[in-house]
């Protein structure tokens, strides 16, 4: 049965599993694997749509993928990312969240940033929209942070991230993603917050973990973030299978009698 927002609000200390999924087959697999929550992340812009970053992702694209993921995982709590600039004002955020929840079937939305987005998070939660926060490396504004690199090594950076997480909690976020921050900082934030933290590249001390589907299955070319663990060499296995199919067609091996009527 699908978990409720209340369960996630009370998820402190539970080692919940989040996984991204972006379409019917990936969400179906995630649900069958028994993950606690699916994140339709705007990382889909890179791993599914081939954009160089998450910046070009549109609300229509998020909606399209959220709907497909929901069809694949009707029983799993599903969070959809608000794309870049879709929450630049509370009005825009409410309109985008309305579409992702009503049309897309999402249970919650996620947005990036700390103190600077707290007002929007408060407006959304007051309107009844469950919100997941995201601090540390925030990919939509990675360029302003010096690229895809560890955040919070310097004391002033760590303080900004810490304050950001606190501001998100105070604004009503039901949880906070900590991306690419030192494990010790993630531990301190996790100990301080009453809501659950979800780590990606944040070490072992966060309440929950999240990984990108394509990183787990080795489906994003040669690129492998250091924090991700590859549980399958998917690209190699897919390539072998597809090459065999092509070979068998060319050699007249496929279709065989068992595939013919």
User: Among all residues, which ones are annotated catalytic?
Assistant: 179
Q: How far is the CB of 249 from ligand KIV (least distance, A)?
A: 36
| Least distance to ligand KIV, CB of residue 119, Å | 21
The residue among 20 and 190 lying less far from ligand KIV, judged by its C-beta, is 20
Q: How far is the CB of 213 from ligand KIV (least distance, A)?
A: 9
Q: How far apart are CA 61 and CA 67, in angstroms?
A: 10
Contact residues toward ligand KIV (CB under 6 A) are 20, 39, 41-43, 81, 134, 177, 179, 200, 210, 212
181, 197 contact by CB (below 8 A): no
Could you give the 3-state DSSP secondary structure of residue 178? strand
Nearer to ligand KIV, 41 or 182 (CB): 41
Burial class, 167, CB count within 10 angstroms (exposed 0-12 / middle 13-18 / buried 19+)? buried
For ligand KIV, give the closer residue by CB, 131 or 257.
Answer: 131
Beta bridge partners of 256: none
By beta-carbon proximity to ligand KIV, the closer residue of 150 and 258 is: 150
Tokens of 5: 């927002």
Residue nearest to ligand KIV (CB): 41
Rounded distance, CA 121 to CA 253, Å? 59
Residue 128 CB, shortest distance to ligand KIV, in Å, is: 23
Q: What secondary structure does DSSP assign to 115-168, as a single string?
A: GGGHHHHHHHHHTT--EEEEEES-GGGGGGGTSS-----SHHHHHHHHHHHHHH
Place of tokens 């976020």: 173
């Amino acid at each position: 049965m699908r978990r409720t927002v209340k369960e996630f609000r009370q998820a402190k200390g539970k080692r919940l599993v989040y996984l991204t999924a972006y379409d019917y087959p990936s969400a179906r697999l995630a649900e069958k694997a028994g993950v606690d929550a699916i994140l339709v992340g705007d990382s889909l812009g890179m791993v599914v749509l081939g954009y160089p970053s998450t910046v070009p992702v549109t609300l229509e694209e998020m909606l399209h993928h959220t709907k497909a993921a929901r069809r694949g995982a009707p029983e799993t709590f599903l969070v959809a990312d608000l794309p870049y600039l879709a929450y630049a004002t509370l009005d825009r955020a409410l309109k985008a969240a309305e579409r992702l929840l009503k049309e897309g079937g999402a249970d919650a939305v996620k947005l990036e940033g700390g103190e600077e987005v707290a007002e929007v998070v408060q407006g959304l939660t007051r309107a009844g929209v469950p919100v997941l926060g995201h601090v540390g490396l925030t990919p939509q504004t990675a360029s302003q942070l010096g690229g895809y690199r560890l955040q919070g090594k310097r004391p002033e950076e760590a303080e900004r991230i810490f304050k950001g997480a606190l501001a998100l909690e105070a604004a009503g976020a039901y949880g906070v993603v900590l991306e690419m921050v030192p494990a010790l900082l993630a531990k301190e934030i996790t100990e301080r917050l009453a809501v659950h933290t979800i780590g990606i590249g944040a070490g072992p001390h966060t309440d929950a973990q999240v990984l990108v589907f394509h990183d787990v299955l080795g489906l994003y070319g040669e690129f492998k973030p250091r924090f991700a663990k590859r549980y399958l060499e998917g690209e190699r296995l897919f390539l072998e299978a597809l090459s065999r199919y092509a070979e068998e067609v060319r050699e007249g091996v496929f279709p065989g009698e068992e595939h013919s009527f």
